[in-house]
Chains A and B, each alone.
Chain A
């Protein structure tokens, strides 16, 4: 591996995005959870849920701040690290970028209002109504930015003449073939990850001995949401796989180590691959890849051998794909088990292994987000603009990419630690029971 500008630019972009998507995912999902908790709280006239919404919102401010600043970083780094790409594609994708900023603006305004008007309105529903523009803003910005990423996977809506984009159709570029499945998957997985993370925090608190009704209510609510959103994510994932089989088969084939085009193709779970592309230790599910790709065992799945060698992604993305799917499935099963344990009289929802499972599912879901994005992004290598421009031709020729990488690595490292410290301290110093007493029972 040579550390030239291309490699360093890729490393810096990956690092910024890997850091940013944690906060971006939370930023899209948590407002939905806050809105649900406040809604339930007002509807049932239950202070536990109102306090839940309040405390989530308080922690959310910290993650939003880090999300905003790292989002600004990636926004500018696009032009600083990939100027040639932006010179060509900037013409075609500036509309969704612009719209994303609008959505973000809208969210920022109403989030500011929401956070500082908790006790200002006589009618509680008025305050709850503020969550709607916040949710619209955060989900819409995810939608618009995802169309940009979808465009890089399946570009359309322009022609390339002498290195310049002409005959631009901005709407066609936004509504490219990848857009629906990607947006669906990004939104559901963000909601799911946020629900699971909040459930994990609650579960961890319960394991540490907190047993009040507040925690019980929180865990039940977040686990119901986890189940709903994780089922949605699985559905979105299925839609995405079918889409890839049709439009971007090299990505699916690389993820599945599927070399020869065939019908009744096997699905390969885990395993290892050697330099001769021989697969070992894997679980083979006969015909399942065809079923995944087209809901039928007769579906013909295109293999990697049909592509030129220098236009296929690296084979290690198989692990990313498998880990993402495994974690998603784990969350679905776990939520089901928890809900059964809660509803069935014979079992207890306080069963420790389940609680530990939930506590682990939070960080695992964040990892699944990372694995999923690595799969999606590395899966379109070597292209930056699939079929039009390769990554190697897009990187900056400027000086100092290595130094910039080091500066940002230090910065993100410090931010990561401080974010955790501040968040933990924020809630440790103010236990929920005390706050409940102070706020509602005086």
Chain B
């Protein structure tokens, strides 16, 4: 495997990791807020906060990891994105800041503050929408190169059907992934009232997820036919994604094997995300940046890969410890520790 393909795969794996755990996190924030206003907070909010408290910081690191890696492996991508995305990027940042700090304020500082919970819940849906625009922009057509720099065509982005379908998919996926995970978590905790509420959320968000996926495909066909036809060549990946979606929805509907159901959800998004990523190549940012042209210097690329492997050797056991203590420890999940 060449260095650039290795590099982009590493980054893509990280972005996938962020997609899953951040979705759980973002959705959980929204559900906690929704639980509060629909007066069901006594059922689900303790469960949610027991899961989120020890892991929220880790979620944030996945994101930092991705963009630091992108700058490292593909400095040109950082240049184009950096110049063009000052305003939209800053909006995403402000939302991330509000969410992260207000989580801590609400959770450790003054409990029962509805306003903090509102900000936390609302940003949970706005952030995926804001971040997904970076993926939309990578399809091309939203940046223009001028003599002195790069210009971001905000109007084009705001009026593009493709852009809106991606935003829609991002939001409903977040709610679906999160609900599926929390259903499983509630089931492990033996918390049946919470499980039933969350299971309904999962089933509610299941059809929109798949509808939004088809919508993205349809609008991609109009926006970027070249990418669409490459995606069609990888039809089996999207087919597997659909299959796992059906498995997950079936299991949740039948109220059994919530753990397997969540793994199926993860696989559903794994195949869709990697199918999308593979068909996007060789472009990172169409048409300015391809993986082949913008790869960093090979010495640095090799050093990054070495550090990456060493880092994983350190992180994986630590992450396993974290999961063992808080995710798979029945007593903790049940709130006895």
A4 at the interface (CB under 8 A from B): no
Task: State the interface size on chain B (CB cutoff 8 A).
Answer: 66
Whole-angstrom CA separation of A92 from B87 in the bound complex: 27
Chain A min CB distance to B326 (Å): 7
CB under 8 Å from chain B, chain A span 91-105: 91-92, 94-95, 97-102, 104-105
Contacts of A84 in B (CB 8 A): 79
Contacts of A117 in B (CB 8 A): 325
Contacts of B63 in A (CB 8 A): 72
Residue of B nearest to A115 (CB): B54
Stretch at the interface among B94-102, B183-191, B229-237, B262-270: B94-102
Contacts of B90 in A (CB 8 A): 80, 404, 407-408
Chain A interface helix/strand/loop/mixed: helix
> Does B86 contact A81, Cβ atoms closer than 8 Å?
yes
Residue of A nearest to B319 (CB): A109
Contacts of B13 in A (CB 8 A): none
Whole-angstrom CA separation of A398 from B152 in the bound complex: 8
Chain B min CB distance to A247 (Å): 25
> Does A66 contact B54, Cβ atoms closer than 8 Å?
no
A69 at the interface (CB under 8 A from B): yes
Set B57, B148, B149, B311: member contacting A111, Cβ < 8 A: B57
B281 at the interface (CB under 8 A from A): no
Q: Mark A45-66, 1 if CB is under 8 A from B, else 0.
A: 0000000000000100110111
Residue of A nearest to B326 (CB): A116
Stretch at the interface among A161-169, A228-236, A322-330, A344-352: A161-169
Whole-angstrom CA separation of A80 from B296 in the bound complex: 19
Whole-angstrom CA separation of A273 from B61 in the bound complex: 47
Task: From known contacts A91-B75, A422-B110, infer whether A76 and B318 are also in contact, taking CB-CB under 8 Å.
Answer: no
Residue of A nearest to B61 (CB): A105
Set A77, A102, A168, A411: member contacting B299, Cβ < 8 A: A168
Residue from B86, B101, B104, B318 whose CB has the most chain A CB atoms within 10 Å: B86
Contacts of B152 in A (CB 8 A): 398-399
B240 at the interface (CB under 8 A from A): no
CB under 8 Å from chain A, chain B span 190-211: none
Whole-angstrom CA separation of A65 from B81 in the bound complex: 26
Task: From known contacts A102-B314, A397-B148, A399-B151, infer whether A116 and B53 are also in contact, taking CB-CB under 8 Å.
Answer: yes
Set B53, B78, B299: member contacting A87, Cβ < 8 A: B78
Residue of A nearest to B107 (CB): A61
Q: Mark B69-97, 1 if CB is under 8 A from A, else 0.
A: 10111011011111111110110011011
> Does B318 contact A110, Cβ atoms closer than 8 Å?
yes
Set B97, B148, B319: member contacting A415, Cβ < 8 A: B97
B135 at the interface (CB under 8 A from A): no
Residue of B nearest to A397 (CB): B149
Set B69, B109, B315: member contacting A98, Cβ < 8 A: B69
B60 at the interface (CB under 8 A from A): yes
Chain A min CB distance to B125 (Å): 18
Residue from A72, A73, A82, A425 whose CB has the most chain B CB atoms within 10 Å: A72
CB under 8 Å from chain B, chain A span 193-241: none
Whole-angstrom CA separation of A85 from B67 in the bound complex: 16
B253 at the interface (CB under 8 A from A): no
Contacts of B71 in A (CB 8 A): 79, 86, 90, 94, 97
A–B pairs, 15, beta carbons within 8 Å: A75-B64, A76-B89, A98-B304, A99-B311, A105-B58, A109-B318, A111-B57, A112-B322, A120-B325, A166-B297, A170-B300, A171-B303, A398-B84, A422-B110, A425-B109
With A86-B71, A396-B149, A399-B152 given, can you name 9 additional A-B contacts, CB distance below 8 Å?
Answer: A70-B97, A75-B64, A86-B79, A86-B82, A94-B71, A98-B72, A102-B314, A115-B54, A426-B109
Point out residues on B near A: beta carbons under 8 Å. Answer: 53-55, 57-58, 60-61, 63-65, 67-69, 71-73, 75-76, 78-87, 89-90, 93-94, 96-98, 100-101, 103-105, 108-110, 148-152, 296-297, 299-300, 303-304, 307-308, 311, 314-315, 318-319, 321-322, 325-326, 337
